[in-house]
Amino acid sequence: MTNTIKDVAKKANVSIATVSRILNDQGGYSEKTKFKVLKVIEELGYQPNAVARGLINKRTHTIGVLFPKLSSSLVTDLLDGIEKAANDNGSSVIVCHTESNGEKTMKYLQLLIEKRVDGIIFASEILKEEYYQFVAKTKMPIILLSTESYAYPVPFVKVNDFHAAYAAAKYLIGKGHTKIGMISGKKDDIIAGIPRIEGFKKALSDHGISLGSENVVFSRGFAFPDGIEGLKKLIGQFPDVTAIFAASDEMAIGALSAAYQLGIKVPDEISVMGYDNLNLAEMSIPPLTTVGQPLAKMGEAAAEMLFTIMETGEIPESRIMPHRIIERMSVKERKK
């Protein structure tokens, strides 16, 4: 069995209180005792039991993160930031993979609550009423990451999707394009779907570019195959298109692939722009021009907001993180 504070106390001929004090640097002991105790700790290879500490301190130094899926670099980059901030604050992170499944999500939420994590980060997904009520009841701190709630007062950190999409379309217009299409994600996704579509449309109409139903193609999701299909469909309904804005990098890369298959040269014949700035984006042929979200920073911010809540008890303000156009090689200036 592993040694406990009792074993240390006994072997050092002091009380457990003294050992505890030394462990927590609280003062109230002589240098001599400290030295003696530390020596015994060393000899015994004693490791304080964080579970017992958590029970009494009501602080587990653990936060929980819920993701709809794990295998995507979008998630990984967010996680990277979360983990970094957590580590800097002496906390660990438990990852939960919900598969966008309501039952699984509830199960995980319950698990995290039972484990008494210090807070929860809920990422990249709609916060359903059921979820919200469940955690609100426990008063556990929660932050939304890369998503937001219109119905509940939960602080979030994300990019402004409308503005970012607007900026992307504007960039394309600035490059001389007027026949611009969009491969959008899910039409009814109120976080990553609608705002990007609306931002795109607004940019076109603000710049006097006419726009019909042929300009936008809808998909089932935001993945690679959706981009392949998207491009084919778009070319079919809008043959004049010279530039395409895809609602995710994976879709943009799918579009690149489809274009290649069809013998369409990017960016010479068609320009393609993505959204996310995943690692992928610099590895594609040609490297993808895209609108970047500072994913790692967003993850960090979310975790830090959680720590703020724990320390101050105050609910922090939501944070809109800046997006940025990342210019690479997939968009070409179009001569008039």
∠ CA 94-100-104, rounded to 5°: 60
Q: How many CA atoms lie within 13 A of 83 on its CB side?
A: 8
Site for its own copies in 128-187 (CB under 8 A): 137-138
Question: From the list its own copies, DNA, none, which binds 110 (C-beta under 5 to 8 Å, kind-based)?
Answer: its own copies
71 binding its own copies? (CB under 8 A) = yes
**Contact pick of 119, 193, 199, 254 for its own copies (by CB under 8 A):** 254
**CB of 21 or CB of 201, closer to DNA:** 21
> Choosing among DNA, its own copies, none, which partner's interface includes residue 96 (Cβ < 5 to 8 Å by kind)?
its own copies
Smallest distance from DNA to CB 315, Å: 24
Q: How far is CA 153 from the centre of its chain?
A: 19
Q: How far is the CB of 273 from its own copies (least distance, A)?
A: 17
The helix-helix angle for 16-23 and 31-44 (nearest 10°) equals 90
Q: Which residues, listed in sequence order, are joined to residue 66 by a DSSP beta bridge? A: 96, 122
Least distance CB 136 / its own copies (angstroms): 11
140 lies in the site for DNA, by CB under 7 A: no
The values of phi and psi at residue 92, to 5°, are -110, 165
Does residue 224 bind its own copies (CB under 8 A)? Answer: yes
Tokens 């505890």 label which residue? 20
Judged by beta carbon, residue 325 or residue 329, the one nearer its own copies is: 329
DSSP string, 113-167: HHTT-SEEEEESS---HHHHHHHHHHT--EEEES---SSS---EEEE-HHHHHHH
For its own copies, the binding residues (CB under 8 A) are 2, 45, 47-52, 54-55, 60, 62, 64, 70-73, 75-77, 79-80, 83-84, 87, 92-97, 110-116, 137-138, 224, 250, 253-254, 256-257, 260, 279-280, 282-287, 296
